[in-house]
Amino acid sequence: MRTALACLSAAFLCLALPGVAGAEPSAKDIALVRALKAQTLTRIEFKETNLEGVVKWLRVATGKNIIIKQSALAKAGIEWQDLSYTVELEKVSVWTFLEDVIAKPYDMALTVRGNIVFLTSRADSHGKPVTKLYTISHITWTKTDFFGPSINLNPSGFVGEEYEPEKPVENDPLTSGDAVAELIKELLVPAQWEENDDWAIRATDRYLVIRAPKSVHALIPRALEKIASMK
């Protein structure tokens, strides 16, 4: 089970386009991310420069509209006004600089919408949560072992062995909705389920009620399909 889970996790990490918020990014969103990855900054040099100063320089250097999403960062407890950067780099892509140097070290994230790049919290980067219902009875059904009829030819009046009833398969981890819910959490952005109070999964043995951003909901049908294939 753990080996299969690791393979599934790796597969789902490849599904989301970094920086594009929502389940259905527009062509303009995707184009901007690609442009930022292709655009190279020849030289970057900052010494104890605050975040606002770095962003102002980037707007001029790149010609891109980059905005600090102050309310989202404050909600996540990130004191962006106090951040300071001392950096000296050459020939680095704009996206790499924004993501790996500016955002990730301080638990921030990037999103794009239209022609705007937002520097925001990880929670906000996923989008606003919505609630949806999913059927899981095709996963939680009880597997059984049973003995098939003998295929041997027997003489008249032969009395075979006593019938043995079906027996539930032992140690099947996918017989409860709670188990499926935990697997979903482990597969899809695992840290976020604990960090965000407005993300939730409630389970019965037939249904999952999931509250999460659209970008996460977009991955759930495939996740359930893959989990069912492990049965």
The span from the CA of 11 to the CA of 219, in Å, is: 11
Q: How far is CA 215 from CA 52, 125, 127, 128, in A?
A: 29, 10, 7, 9
Average pLDDT (200-226) is 93
Q: Mind listing the pLDDT tens digit for each residue in 121-179?
A: 988 888 889 999 999 999 999 877 666 666 667 676 666 666 566 677 677 888 899 99
Residue predicted with more confidence, 23 or 72: 72
Residues 213, 214, 219, 221: is their CA dihedral positive or negative? positive
Residue predicted with more confidence, 147 or 52: 52
Lowest mean pLDDT among 13-22, 70-79, 86-95: 13-22
Give the residue among 228, 221, 231 at the shortest CA–CA distance from 15: 221
Residues 182 and 215 in one domain: yes
User: pLDDT value at position 23?
Assistant: 47
User: pLDDT value at position 145?
Assistant: 67
Task: Give the percent of the chain with pLDDT over 90.
Answer: 58
The CATH number assigned to the domain holding 105 equals 3.55.50.30
Res. 22: pLDDT tops 60: no
Res. 31: pLDDT tops 50: yes
- Asked if the structure places residue 162 within a domain, the reply is no
- Asked if the structure places residue 63 within a domain, the reply is yes
Average pLDDT (37-46) is 96
- Asked if the structure places residue 105 within a domain, the reply is yes
Backbone angles phi, psi at 3, to 5 degrees: -65, -45
Residues 133 and 215 in one domain: yes
User: pLDDT value at position 166?
Assistant: 67
The three-state secondary structure class of 57 is helix
Alpha helices, H only, the chain: 2-13, 27-38, 51-62, 70-75, 94-96, 122-125, 137-140, 177-187, 190-195, 214-217, 220-229
Residue predicted with more confidence, 194 or 48: 48
Long-range pairs for 186-191: beta carbons < 8 A, 24 or more residues apart = 186/5, 186/9, 187/5, 187/8, 187/9, 187/12, 187/223, 188/12, 188/216, 188/219, 188/220, 188/223, 189/126, 189/216
The span from the CA of 176 to the CA of 132, in Å, is: 19
User: pLDDT value at position 11?
Assistant: 47
User: For the chain, what is the radius of gyration of the CA atoms?
Assistant: 26
Domain that holds residue 76: 16-123
Average pLDDT (20-25) is 54
- Asked if the structure places residue 164 within a domain, the reply is no
Residues 114 and 135 in one domain: no
- Asked if the structure places residue 152 within a domain, the reply is no
Q: Mind listing the pLDDT tens digit for each residue in 76-128?
A: 899 999 999 999 999 999 999 999 999 999 999 999 988 999 999 988 888 88
Structural domain total, the chain: 2
The three-state secondary structure class of 205 is coil
Average pLDDT (42-60) is 97
Q: How far is CA 205 from CA 1, 142, 174, in A?
A: 20, 11, 10
Residues 184 and 198 in one domain: yes
In sequence order, the 6+-apart residues with CB closer than 8 A to the CB of 144 are 166, 167, 168, 169
User: pLDDT value at position 13?
Assistant: 41
Judging by DSSP bridges, how do beta strands 65-68 and 116-121 pair with one another?
A: parallel
